[in-house]
Amino acid sequence: MRKSDRTLLTGNKEFACEFKDMFGKLLNQPIINIIVNELTTVEQLLEAPSKNELETGLNMLKNGKAPGIDEIVSECLKKGELCLLNQLHKLINIIWEQEEIPESWRVSVLCPVFKKGDIMECENYRGSPYSTQLIRFYLTFF
């Protein structure tokens, strides 16, 4: 693996620092020429998801996918049956009412995934977010 200045990287710590710098530059660009119009807040008419909707959402999760940083795979959520469904329903309702996503669900690990080109160049990797399975499930309702 090479740095952007073409020098070779040695060791995992150097790899991690280089990807951190590259993704930091890529994802933290200044916002230019944004015109912000005043928005009127409209009262939300949506209700919290029902148990039936949660069950449908669980069934929509794909099997065989990597677990999230919480190490939960979608198959575990699907096999939890009524007991887990009831607990998820309570949790989703609390989040819905408070309009606040748990802090631990906001954490995502960005994993470099090779796109194409020279495998030695950091710029030829994209960032793939690795988040909790529960936030992936929750976001199916938005």
Round the CA-based radius of gyration of the chain to a whole number and report it.
Answer: 20
How far apart, in whole angstroms, are the C-alpha atoms of residue 14 and residue 19? 9
Q: Which residue has the higher pLDDT, 84 or 4?
A: 84
* Tens digit of each residue's pLDDT (9 = 90 or more) over 17-36: 888 888 888 888 777 766 66
* Tens digit of each residue's pLDDT (9 = 90 or more) over 49-99: 899 999 998 888 889 988 888 888 889 988 988 899 999 999 999 998 898
Show the DSSP H helices in the chain as ranges: 12-27, 51-60, 74-79, 81-98, 133-138
What is residue 45's predicted lDDT score, i.e. its pLDDT? 53
How far apart, in whole angstroms, are the C-alpha atoms of residue 135 and residue 118? 34
Stated pTM of the model? 0.66
